[in-house]
């Protein structure tokens, strides 16, 4: 594997982020199945429940993984094109799940004669979905279609990175508002302020989502954990090959990192 600065810290944070994200998904599943009405597509509460479930799985967990996927050092051997497909694919999947979750909540509101788009949660949430669709279309157009000029790719990159992190942060904010609203609307007797078990459980879900967001943002903003540029990668791979051919005692596919994690 190719060298990465502070590899152990990276790995620890990544595993922690993945675990927290996974536990958030388990929590939202338990919330809708155990504390709420389960899942269904009948215009009632069970249809609404798809909304938080798909948002946490797709828009939060999958989007978070998609953001850090280039940074996994064991993928640095893979071609950049393949990594772009994985990054774009995860984001498209997250978008599809977010879109289905919106259909569920709009359908629920229309069936129950509840007004649409009145809350700050819905404004922030829908804006994030619209920006996300734009981010995906521009990202695919500029970085996956072979016709776009190289200088455009370079000029647009800081905007792509910034807007990706901005959208992800907005999604976390929208989720926290949505969770709070749902607890206030949904808990009648006892009320939210009486701290029934569901309230405590879902407050913990909100904390887990925030911690997941914080870890992903930290991992994604460390310059030293960036995937090295392609030229540097090729020269590192070449020198690894040379070192190996000069060491007959090493198996051709053995790990060439030393004790300190360097090549």
* Segment (H or E) for 102: helix 80-111
Residue 174 found at the interface with ligand HEM (CB under 6 A): yes
Which are the contacts of 214, defined by CB distance < 8 A and separation ≥ 6? none
For ligand HEM, the closer CB: 90 or 171: 171
State the minimum distance, in angstroms, from the CB of residue 255 to ligand HEM: 40
Residue 62 found at the interface with ligand HEM (CB under 6 A): no
State the minimum distance, in angstroms, from the CB of residue 128 to ligand HEM: 5
Residue 171 found at the interface with ligand HEM (CB under 6 A): yes
For ligand HEM, the closer CB: 170 or 256: 170
Question: Residue 146 gets which letter from DSSP?
Answer: T
Residue 103 found at the interface with ligand HEM (CB under 6 A): no
Residue 199 found at the interface with ligand HEM (CB under 6 A): no
Alpha helices, H only, 32-77: 45-48, 50-54, 63-68
Residue 102 found at the interface with ligand HEM (CB under 6 A): yes
Report long-range pairs for 33-36 (Cβ below 8 Å, ≥24 apart): 35/197, 35/198, 35/201, 35/202, 36/186
Q: Are 56 and 29 in contact (CB under 8 A)?
A: no
Residue nearest to ligand HEM (CB): 178
Binding-site ranges for ligand HEM (CB under 6 A) = 51-52, 55, 59, 102, 105-106, 109, 116-117, 119, 121-122, 125-126, 128-129, 171, 174-175, 178-179, 181-182, 185
């Amino acid at each position: 594997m190719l060298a990465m600065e502070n590899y152990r810290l990276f790995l620890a944070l990544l595993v922690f982020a993945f675990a927290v994200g996974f536990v958030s998904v388990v929590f939202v599943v338990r919330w809708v199945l155990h504390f709420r009405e389960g899942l269904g597509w009948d215009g009632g509460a069970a249809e609404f429940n798809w909304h938080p479930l798909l948002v946490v799985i797709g828009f939060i967990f999958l989007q978070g993984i998609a953001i850090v996927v280039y940074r996994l050092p064991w993928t640095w051997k893979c071609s950049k094109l393949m990594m772009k497909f994985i990054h774009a694919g995860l984001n498209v999947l997250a978008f599809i799940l977010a879109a289905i979750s919106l259909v569920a909540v709009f359908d629920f509101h229309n069936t129950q004669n509840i007004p649409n788009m009145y809350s700050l949660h819905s404004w922030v949430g829908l804006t994030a979905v619209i920006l996300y669709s734009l981010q995906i279309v521009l990202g695919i157009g500029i970085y996956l279609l072979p016709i776009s000029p190289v200088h455009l790719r370079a000029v647009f990159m800081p905007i792509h990175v910034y807007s990706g992190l901005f959208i992800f942060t907005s999604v976390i904010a929208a989720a926290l508002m949505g969770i709070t609203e749902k607890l206030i609307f949904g808990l009648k007797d006892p009320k939210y302020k009486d701290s029934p078990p569901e309230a405590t459980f879902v407050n913990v879900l909100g904390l887990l989502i925030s911690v997941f967001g914080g870890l992903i943002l930290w991992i994604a903003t460390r310059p030293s954990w960036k995937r090295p540029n392609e030229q540097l990668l090729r020269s590192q791979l070449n020198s690894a090959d040379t070192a190996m051919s000069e060491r007959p005692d090493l198996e051709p596919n053995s790990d060439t990192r030393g004790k300190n994690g360097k090549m």
